């Protein structure tokens, strides 16, 4: 059964991981689609501005100026570096007007978030007499910003590319004569868009989806945990019930077997004719009958919860009460080497308890100390007043209880199943009943234990 539960847990975890992976994949896809749609929407809006006739005319002015500079370059009046410098200076001058128009139109759109736009020169090629001359970029340059706002391009998106071919003429002097020459100009420009905080905006649009996914994931985990916990609990309950049935069967067999033998003996003429033997046999029947009755009463009474226990409270002096309890316990316990140390609080304290029920609770703990004790058992009973509560500590030097069993020790029918504990008789009701009695007195009980170092039960009840 344990192996089946382990396999079920492993399979459940694998299925959970698979479902989580699928969910993560779908969320990632949704994110990419949202991102693409968001950028495309912004691109469409900004493209309307970038295609404005006024902005195109500014670009045309820069392009015309560029042609004049190329004529100077071809006539060797300026160098290639001078040509690029003039291109940049002209762009900076025209950009003031370009950016003003762009920002004005952008405000009119009122898109609700910050965007930045710029137009870069990617490359510039001059072709003359079928000879291509790449003027830009130079080896130490990448792209040149022509218009817009300058920003880091790492997270920017290319929204448009523009490639223009124009055939141009210029005058040149060759061998004392002025001739007209032509060249083809190829300009490749790139428009980039940067949306500030676009990730936050996209995630904001996915808030409900992300929240729903997290809640669904937590629900599945909770459902899985609840199902496995219930399965383990049901398994443990089934084991406890089986153990209880085996224990009660074992406990009942002994008196029933004795009663069977005794009743058969009573039919014997030898026993009938011997008054002493007849009375002894009859006493055996009575004792075994009482033992059976006590077993039945133990099952009936010790199964009560603290709400069902009716207390008959009376005032007792702690010193006198514990002396009597411990003395009675020592007399009734058949243990060859038992030592009980009484460290009860010296000043007398008046306790208001149900004497019979509370004695049963204390005795159950003392009996367990003997049952699960070592050869030389030492039990120390101490008490004190702490924060207005009467604290009772019952410490033994027994085999101790593991942490796993400490959490279950007060549950109904539970019995420790480690070491030689299997050899100890019992129904698993004693400490459960003790716990219920202490709770009925508005108190608390806890356990501190370490294997092979003994166990301490700590009881707290209110003092009035």
Q: What is the pLDDT of residues 290-329, one digit of tens each?
A: 767 766 766 666 555 666 677 889 999 999 999 988 888 8
Q: What is the pLDDT of residue 123?
A: 84
Mean per-residue pLDDT, 367-390: 88
Q: What is the pLDDT of residue 420?
A: 40
Q: What is the pLDDT of residue 299?
A: 64
Cα–Cα dist 215/395, whole Å:
48
Cα–Cα dist 225/243, whole Å:
26
Mean pLDDT, all residues of the chain:
82
Cα–Cα dist 369/454, whole Å:
9
pLDDT at 423 over 70: no
Higher pLDDT, 281 or 395: 395
pLDDT band at 389 (very low <50, low <70, confident <90, very high): very high
Q: What is the pLDDT of residue 453?
A: 86
Q: Is the model's pTM score more than 0.75?
A: no
pLDDT at 73 over 80: yes
Domains 218-301 and 314-462 share a fold: no
* Max CA distance (Å), the chain: 165
**Which bin fits 160, alpha (ψ -120 to 50), beta or left (φ > 0)?**
beta
pLDDT at 140 over 60: no
pLDDT at 214 over 60: yes
- Please state the domain extents for the chain: 2-205, 218-301, 314-462
Q: What is the pLDDT of residue 307?
A: 67
| Residue 292 three-state SS | helix
Q: What is the pLDDT of residue 300?
A: 64
For residue 340, the cross-strand partners are 379
Q: What distances in angstroms separate CA 143 from CA 72, 122, 140, 153, 435, one per listed residue?
A: 23, 5, 10, 11, 81
The contacts of residue 404 (CB under 8 Å, 6+ apart) are none
Q: What is the pLDDT of residue 419?
A: 44
Cα–Cα dist 447/456, whole Å:
6
Q: Out of 168-177, 186-195, 249-258, pick the least confident.
A: 249-258
Mean per-residue pLDDT, 45-53: 83
Strands 377-386, 338-343: pairing is: parallel
Q: What is the pLDDT of residue 34?
A: 85
Residue length of the chain: 464
CATH 3.10.20.30 fits 314-462, yes or no: no
Cα–Cα dist 201/31, whole Å:
11
| 3-state SS, one letter per residue, for 125-160 | EEEECCEEEEEECCCCCCCEEEEECCCCCCCCEEEE
pLDDT at 139 over 60: no
Second-level CATH architecture of 218-301: Orthogonal Bundle (1.10)
Higher pLDDT, 161 or 241: 161
Percentage of residues of the chain with pLDDT beyond 70: 88
> What are 262's two structure tokens?
């005794």
The contacts of residue 357 (CB under 8 Å, 6+ apart) are 309, 311, 437, 440
Cα–Cα dist 445/436, whole Å:
10
- How many C-beta neighbours within 10 Å does residue 387 have? 6
Mean per-residue pLDDT, 194-206: 83
Cα–Cα dist 39/33, whole Å:
10
pLDDT at 381 over 90: yes
Cα–Cα dist 158/181, whole Å:
36
pLDDT at 382 over 90: yes
Q: What is the pLDDT of residue 41?
A: 84
Mean per-residue pLDDT, 410-420: 63
Q: What is the pLDDT of residue 328?
A: 81
Task: Compute the C-alpha angle 262/264/266, nearest 5°.
Answer: 70
pLDDT in tens, 395-409: 999 888 888 888 778
> What's the burial of 107, exposed, middle or buried (CB within 10 Å: 0-12/13-18/19+)?
exposed
Q: Out of 136-145, 162-171, 396-405, 440-449, pick the least confident.
A: 136-145
pLDDT in tens, 106-135: 888 888 888 888 899 988 888 888 888 887
Higher pLDDT, 139 or 412: 412
Mean per-residue pLDDT, 349-359: 89
Q: What is the pLDDT of residue 295?
A: 65
Mean per-residue pLDDT, 390-397: 94
Q: What is the rounded (10 degree) CA torsion for 276, 278, 280, 283? A: -140
Mean per-residue pLDDT, 357-370: 87
pLDDT band at 224 (very low <50, low <70, confident <90, very high): confident
């Amino acid at each position: 059964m344990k192996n089946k539960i382990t396999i079920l847990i492993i399979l459940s975890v694998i299925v959970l991981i698979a479902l989580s992976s699928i969910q993560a994949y779908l969320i990632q896809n949704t994110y990419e689609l949202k991102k693409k749609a968001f950028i495309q929407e912004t691109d469409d809006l900004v493209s309307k501005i970038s295609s404005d006739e006024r902005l195109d005319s500014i670009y045309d002015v820069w392009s015309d100026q560029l042609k004049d500079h190329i004529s100077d370059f071809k006539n060797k009046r300026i160098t290639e570096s001078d040509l690029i410098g003039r291109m940049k200076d002209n762009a900076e001058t025209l950009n003031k007007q370009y950016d003003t128009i762009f920002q004005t139109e952008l405000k009119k759109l009122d898109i609700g978030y910050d965007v930045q736009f710029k137009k870069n020169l990617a490359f510039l090629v001059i072709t003359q007499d079928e000879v291509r001359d790449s003027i830009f970029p130079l080896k130490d340059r990448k792209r040149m910003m022509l218009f817009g706002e300058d920003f880091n391009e790492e997270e920017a998106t290319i929204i448009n590319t523009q490639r223009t071919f124009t055939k141009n003429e210029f005058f040149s002097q060759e061998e004392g004569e002025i001739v007209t020459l032509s060249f083809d100009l190829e300009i490749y420009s790139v428009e980039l868009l940067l949306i500030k905080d676009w990730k936050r905006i996209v995630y904001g649009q996915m808030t409900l989806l992300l929240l729903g996914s997290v809640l669904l994931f937590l629900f599945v985990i909770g459902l899985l945990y609840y199902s496995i916990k219930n399965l383990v609990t049901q398994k443990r309950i089934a084991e406890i019930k089986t153990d209880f049935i085996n224990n009660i069967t074992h406990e009942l067999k002994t008196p029933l077997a004795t009663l069977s033998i005794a009743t058969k003996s009573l039919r014997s003429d030898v026993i009938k004719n011997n008054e002493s033997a007849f009375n002894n046999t009859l006493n055996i029947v009575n004792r075994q009958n009482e033992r059976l009755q006590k077993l039945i009463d133990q099952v009936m009474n010790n199964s009560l919860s603290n709400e069902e226990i009716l207390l008959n409270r009376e005032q007792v002096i702690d010193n006198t009460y514990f002396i009597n309890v411990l003395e009675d316990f020592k007399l009734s316990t058949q243990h060859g080497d038992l030592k009980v140390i009484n460290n009860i609080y010296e000043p007398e304290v008046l306790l208001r308890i149900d004497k019979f029920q509370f004695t049963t609770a204390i005795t159950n703990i003392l009996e367990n100390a003997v049952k699960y004790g070592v050869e030389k058992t030492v039990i120390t009973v101490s008490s004190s007043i702490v924060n207005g509560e009467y604290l009772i500590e019952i410490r033994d030097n027994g085999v101790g209880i593991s942490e796993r069993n400490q959490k279950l020790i007060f549950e109904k029918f539970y019995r420790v199943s480690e070491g030689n504990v299997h050899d100890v008789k019992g129904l698993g009701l004693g400490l459960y009943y003790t716990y219920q009695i202490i709770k009925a007195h508005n108190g608390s009980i806890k356990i501190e234990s370490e294997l092979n170092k003994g166990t301490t039960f700590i009881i707290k009840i209110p003092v009035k």
